[in-house]
Amino acid sequence: METAPIASAIQLPSKSWTESAFLFLTISIVFCFGFAMLIGQSSAADIIAHWADRRCDLDVMMSAFYYKPADDIRSASQFTTDNFTFCVGSKTETYLHSLFGSLFEVLRKQMGAADIMTEVMTSLKTSLSSIYTPFSKMMGDFFNKFQQIGALGSRVFQHLYMSMKKAAGVATASIFIGLSLQTALLNTVDFLINVIMIVLYIMIALAVIFFFPILPVMAMVYLAVNGIEMALPGRTGSMGAVFCFDESTRILLQNGTTLPINEIKVGDVLLNGQIVEARIKLMGPLSPLYVIDGVEVSGDHRIWSAEKRLWTLVKDHPSAYKSFNHPDLLWTLITSNREIPVQGLHSVQRFADWEELPDTDENAALWDKIVTDLFGQVSNTQVPNNPPVLSGGLHVKKFQAGWIPLCTVQQGDWIMGENRWTKVLGVCHRQAHGGIGEKESRITDGVWIKEDTFYPSWVHSTKKSDTISWLGYHLITEEGAFRIRGLDSSSITDTIVRDFTEVGWWRLPETYTRVEKSMSRL
């Protein structure tokens, strides 16, 4: 059986060793204190000599009693306390001075700047005062004048106001006078109406009484009017009675194709080799169109009747009937053989062109005589060689537009006629094979002209015509004539010319009888 280990006994130092250590420590402390005293004695003289500079050193401040002068009556503790208080106060003052010195310096600088600004503001105030004082005096004088002017204006306004009240009174009186006159006028009109009604009642009674006796006279008048219409077809008609086509009419060309009449151009070659010499565009009809074989055409246009072997009016053709179409524009042509080949629904129809008469010297002389007879003038001895054509560069006077080129005129425009403004009813583009004048101021010898000074009546130009072919224009107007400028570039004299119809559109029916005689011989 094992036994527990036995701890070794601790040996304590002996009593002699303890005493030796205590003695050693005592001697060391005394030695150190003596050494310190020796050092203190060596530096005390220096500290006392420089007491003002070193009195606040930490070691000196803690041991100030040691440096108390012999002649100082204060106790050592009192001397140390006073020195400590002095050092704490001195250090605190130095610390606060270093801490707030810069701030106080900035504040001093700001106060200096404030003084300068105060001086500046004082100077500005003085300057403004020197400026404001005369300005205030001037404005005071101005305000006084303004008050005086205002007072005078008020007086003037009062006078004007009283004058306006007087004028209002006069106007009110005038209104009442006008109402009185209106009442008197209405009473007069009412009286006249009553008188007229009495007369009408009497006339109605007489008409009823005498109706049967005048019935034969009315029948005779009706028969006479119908007789005039039969003898002179279209004489009582309107512009729509001239011979024109609807724009849908198909014209046969030489190559066998067709074109609408509004797309035909001057110079196109038609079915039988005839050449289109002119294209005419007119405003819509006032009288109805007729339909024959699907072609819409004016009733007074002539169509070739194969059965009768003669030219007849469309409205007299047995196959024609009235159309309900009222187009805005109508078209027609002038061709070299005076015929227009038209493609109908079932066959080709032959229509006469605008001029109808063949282009011969005999027919030209006949037409010229018809025109001069209608003018009441003596026939010309020399028949013109060319139809009436004008250059597009000549000028006409358009309403509210001044003088414009003739080539820019359209249907519906208003231009200056012989005596008044007249409406343009149609525009013609035509080929001429001769003319008089330069390129932009040419006319043909077929144009009827009149000038107030040189040509008091209608004449053809006596100047020699050349043989140059050119494309020109002409117009159809309500008045039958219009004014142009530009025949002579050095003159601004107006020249009056007849329109394209030469006789006026309303007189065209008067030419039908004579034309029919020539057509019957074809």
DSSP letters spanning 131-165: HHHHHHHHHHHHHHHHHHHHHHHHHHHHHHHHHHH
Residue after which a domain boundary falls, among 352, 381, 412 = 352
100 vs 38: CA distance, rounded Å? 44
What pLDDT is stored for residue 498 in this prediction? 92
- Listed in order, strand segments (DSSP E) in 139-292 are 250-252, 258-260, 276-283, 289-292
Read off the DSSP letter of residue 376. T
138-174 in b/e form (b: 16+ CB < 10 A) is: eeeeeeeeeeeeeeeeeeeeeeeeeeeeeeeeeeeee
User: Is residue 296 situated within a structural domain?
Assistant: yes
110: tokens are 């700001």
What pLDDT is stored for residue 9 in this prediction? 47
Mean pLDDT in runs of 10 for the chain (522 residues)?
48 64 78 60 70 76 75 80 82 77 78 83 84 83 87 89 90 91 91 92 84 72 58 40 82 94 94 93 83 92 88 90 90 92 93 82 80 76 85 93 93 91 94 88 90 72 88 93 82 84 82 62 52
Cross-sheet strand order for the sheet of 250-252: 258-260, 250-252, 339-343, 348-352, 302-305, 310-313
Read off the DSSP letter of residue 373. H
User: Is residue 230 situated within a structural domain?
Assistant: no
Torsion, Cα of 182, 186, 187, 190 (10° steps): 170
What pLDDT is stored for residue 259 in this prediction? 95
- Listed in order, strand segments (DSSP E) in 314-420 are 321-322, 329-335, 339-343, 348-352, 395-398, 402-405, 414-416
What pLDDT is stored for residue 333 in this prediction? 94
103 vs 351: CA distance, rounded Å? 122
* Domain CATH for 497: 2.170.16.10
Name which of 486, 390, 498, 406 is nearest 448 in CA terms.
498
Cα angle value 300/305/310 (rounded, 5°): 85
Same-domain status, 276 and 416: no
Name which of 95, 96, 91, 46 is nearest 54 in CA terms.
46
Same-domain status, 429 and 306: no
Same-domain status, 471 and 420: yes
User: Is residue 401 situated within a structural domain?
Assistant: yes
63 vs 97: CA distance, rounded Å? 27
Same-domain status, 294 and 370: no
Q: Which residue range is the domain that position 288 belongs to?
A: 240-352
Rounded alpha-carbon distances, angstroms, from residue 241 to 313, 318, 350: 11, 19, 19
What pLDDT is stored for residue 491 in this prediction? 60
User: Is residue 434 situated within a structural domain?
Assistant: yes
Same-domain status, 471 and 329: no
Residue after which a domain boundary falls, among 352, 371, 402 = 352
User: Is residue 498 situated within a structural domain?
Assistant: yes
* 15-47: pLDDT as tens digits: 667 777 777 788 878 777 665 555 555 477 777
CB atoms within 10 A of CB 178: 10
User: Is residue 232 situated within a structural domain?
Assistant: no
Same-domain status, 346 and 396: no
Same-domain status, 441 and 335: no
Same-domain status, 388 and 513: yes
What pLDDT is stored for residue 370 in this prediction? 82
User: Is residue 68 situated within a structural domain?
Assistant: no
259: tokens are 């074109």
Name which of 248, 273, 244, 256 is nearest 345 in CA terms.
248
118 vs 438: CA distance, rounded Å? 96
What pLDDT is stored for residue 221 in this prediction? 67
User: How many distinct structural domains can be found in the chain?
Assistant: 2
Same-domain status, 348 and 375: no
What pLDDT is stored for residue 102 in this prediction? 75
* 370-389: pLDDT as tens digits: 888 887 777 766 778 889 99
Same-domain status, 426 and 477: yes
Residue after which a domain boundary falls, among 352, 373, 389 = 352
385 vs 432: CA distance, rounded Å? 10
What pLDDT is stored for residue 516 in this prediction? 63
User: Is residue 114 situated within a structural domain?
Assistant: no
151 vs 415: CA distance, rounded Å? 62
Same-domain status, 370 and 452: yes
pTM (global) more than 0.95: no
Phi/psi of residue 267, nearest 5 degrees? 105, -15
Same-domain status, 375 and 348: no
3-state secondary structure 256-269: CCEEEHHHCCCCCE
